[in-house]
Amino acid sequence: MNTIAPYPRRQLPDAPLLATIAGRATSRRPVWFMRQAGRSLPEYRKLRAGTGMLESCFTADLVVEITLQPVRRHDVDAAILFSDIVVPLKAAGIDLDIVAGTGPVVATPVRSAADVAALPLLSAEQVEPVTNAVTTLTRELGDTPLIGFAGAPFTLASYLVEGGPSKNHEKTKALMRSDPATWHTLLDTLADTTITFLQAQLAAGVDAIQLFDSWAGALSLADYREFVLPHSTKVLDAMSPAGVPKIHFGVGTGELLGAMGEAGADMVGVDWRIPLDVAARRVGPGKALQGNLDPAVLFAGWDAVESEVRRIVAEGDRAVEGGAVGHVFNLGHGVLPDTDPDVLTRVVELVHSL
């Protein structure tokens, strides 16, 4: 596993996103959107035509252009690196593909100690197209921060064990409960892979990182604490020497927010199921919050969208009064593919005006 070598980092003291996470006053409330780089943008679909998702993620000039598109269009306060949760697994040599309409599909699922022992480890050289893209992006973005991206160990494990997306995660939970030693070895291995992937992005110059745990909301609080939290903590702790803000997000994790707040991130993402001021009490003081407009509301017409944006901004203010160090406006999950990009632009303008 690599360590973060000393390297020059961009100084962005006035970037609203970075200042808000650090608890400093800003000229405007920062806003960015998860999955803003792609899907809903016609220019993205045109650029991606005929190119598979994973091929796109390993083509540096495509990664650069797709990452920049929403910054140009929406005036968001951060770029999020265009990537996918399974990119480091694919780079390491695991046989998988992203199947349209299904998601990541793993050719040989991982379900035994022998399967775990056979997993290849990732080296930074294997994600060179990604790091090359990061280097270019930090030149192109000017004063806009670039957020690096990786999936959390539990979510990676779920794809590997299930063989693809799952509603119930029965095979994952069965391995977790029936063979805890193998489970923890698997997540420790995946934590190392995630650390290598994020450290490579940090060495290339990202200004913040987000650890994305798509499926953690499928777990009880007790299971999360025992089987997941130590491994997410390991990843986030390994990022600390770089001195960049760390963001942690999961879907359906309202009941897990207290534990997620202990994992070591500087900002915790909140989905739309729980008010931000309630989330602030659960996460605990001293951390920023990110969220949490329901992505489906963007289809409801502007009056409904505006009302919800104003409500969330007010909740964010109450969260700060309750101990959060700041609020970054975002969705409570990713932008849905059929979202009207003009609505997203109007949301950014509204948040910046409030």
Catalytic residues: 35, 39, 48, 84, 159
Across 167-216, the runs of DSSP E, i.e. the strands, are 208-213
For residues 168-177, one letter each, b for 16 or more C-beta atoms within 10 angstroms of the residue's C-beta and e for the rest, the string is: ebebbbebbe
* Contact predicate 259/229, CB 8 Å: yes
The C-alpha atoms of residue 257 and residue 289 are separated, in whole angstroms, by: 11
The C-alpha atoms of residue 280 and residue 342 are separated, in whole angstroms, by: 31
Backbone angles phi, psi at 23, to 5 degrees: 85, 15
The C-alpha atoms of residue 235 and residue 241 are separated, in whole angstroms, by: 12
Q: Is 137 helix (H, G, I), strand (E, B) or coil?
A: helix
Q: Tell me the β-bridge partners of 331.
A: 293
Q: 54: burial class by Cβ within 10 Å (0-12, 13-18, 19+)?
A: middle
Residue type, 149: F
CA-nearest of 274, 168, 186, 281 to 230 is: 186
Neighbours of 61 (CB within 10 A): 12
Inter-CA distances, 90 with 10, 32, 98, 139, Å: 30, 27, 10, 27
* Contact predicate 333/271, CB 8 Å: yes
Q: Is 38 helix (H, G, I), strand (E, B) or coil?
A: coil
| Token pair belonging to 289 | 């919050």
Q: Is 250 helix (H, G, I), strand (E, B) or coil?
A: strand
